[in-house]
Amino acid sequence: MTDDQLALEIRGLEKIYAGAKGETEKHALKGIDLSVRRGSIFGLLGPNGAGKSTTINILAGLVRKSAGTAKVWGFDIDEQPRNAKASIGIVPQEIYFDAFFSPREMLELQAGFYGVPVSDRRTDEILDAMSLLDKADSYTRHLSGGMKRRLLVAKAMVHNPPILVLDEPTAGVDVELRQNLWTYIRKLNALGVTIVLTTHYLEEAEELCDEIAIINHGEVVACDSTVNLLSQLDEKVITIRPMSPLSFVPDSLKEIGASLNQAGEIVVCFSPSHLSIGNILQKVQNAAIEIADLSTQESDLEDIFLQLTSAKKI
């Protein structure tokens, strides 16, 4: 892809933190390569300490890299730092506000930090988009947790950046608020904003993201479209409930690795590329077992995440 097609382009990014008081230095990033398409929702996943926050902080200009290059909306973070910083908005995980500022005052102040002229500010428009216009003049300490989350997003949007990075945006929030934030993320993306999402909720990444990169111990261990990643695990589980609970597994079903659960149901873990559900059901019928119900379970992003991060050791 060319520069005009990429929102973020990272090549060979490294970060080494010096050790304190005789401790050994920490190699937080070990040559990260990432390309994020413009207009996409990109998931950046990894366990604690994997290097996600370090990568984001380098892009935001908060941490100096040790080696490599990074471009934000085509601007090199070393050669054109002002343009690069103006092209990205960061929504941090931590909620921190001045308790005596109102949302309107906070957005006006943030716009001033970015040098946005008064005539070009969109304070009320952004507050309205975040469903906060009716709270524009309230003290932030009176806002609910969900409102504070939305205000963080609003702050990151005051300079109209084409890239929005959301660092654990739904951490510690209830299910309803999480669904609402997902709606806001999709709405922003529909308006053309490129979204980079870090999250520990794997179902969130699976639901929202077009592409996903998994980082572990400072290295990219996987980067592909969500569909392709999910197709990597060719494994399904079928649970068959017979009309009467079974006490043993017929020999014909043992051949395909069937077992019984505590409810006397037949459980088969299988690879769809080698064994079809139709073949399994045929073997069940051949064993003269009458089926009352059945369910299937496919591998999901969590399976891939655990497989990749547990296999990669320090």
Question: Given this model, what pLDDT does residue 226 score?
Answer: 85
Q: Are 206 and 20 in contact (CB under 8 A)?
A: no
At 147-195, the pLDDT tens digits run 888 888 889 989 989 999 988 877 666 777 778 778 888 888 998 999 9
Are 260 and 246 within 8 A, CB to CB? yes
Q: Judge whether 30 and 219 are in contact, CB under 8 Å.
A: yes
Average pLDDT of the chain is 86
Q: How confident is the model at residue 67 (pLDDT cuts 50, 70, 90)?
A: very high
Residue spans per domain, the chain = 3-87+161-230, 236-298
Number of H helices, E strands in the chain: 11, 14
Average pLDDT in the 59-76 region?
A: 93
Architecture in CATH for domain 236-298: 2-Layer Sandwich (3.30)
Residue 313 pLDDT grade (very low, low, confident, very high; cuts 50, 70, 90): very low
Across 6-10, 59-63, 276-280, which has the greatest mean pLDDT?
A: 6-10
pLDDT score recorded for residue 106: 92
Read off the pTM: 0.75
The three state secondary structure string of 128-163 is HHCCCHHHCCCCHHHCCHHHHHHHHHHHHCCCCCCE
Measure the CA–CA gap between 272 and 237, rounded to whole angstroms: 10
Helix/strand/coil percent split, the chain, to 5: 35, 25, 40
Distance from C-alpha of 183 to C-alpha of 189, rounded to nearest angstrom: 10
Q: Which residue has the tokens 């709405």?
A: 187
Poorest-pLDDT segment among 45-49, 130-134, 280-284: 45-49
pLDDT digits (tens, 9 = 90+) for 4-35: 789 999 999 999 998 777 788 889 999 999 99
* Residue 87, token pair as written in the block: 């092209």
Q: How confident is the model at residue 314 (pLDDT cuts 50, 70, 90)?
A: very low
More confident residue, 150 or 260: 260
User: Residues of the chain with pLDDT > 90: what percent?
Assistant: 42
Would you say the CATH fold of 236-298 matches that of 3-87+161-230? no
- CATH number, domain 3-87+161-230: 3.40.50.300
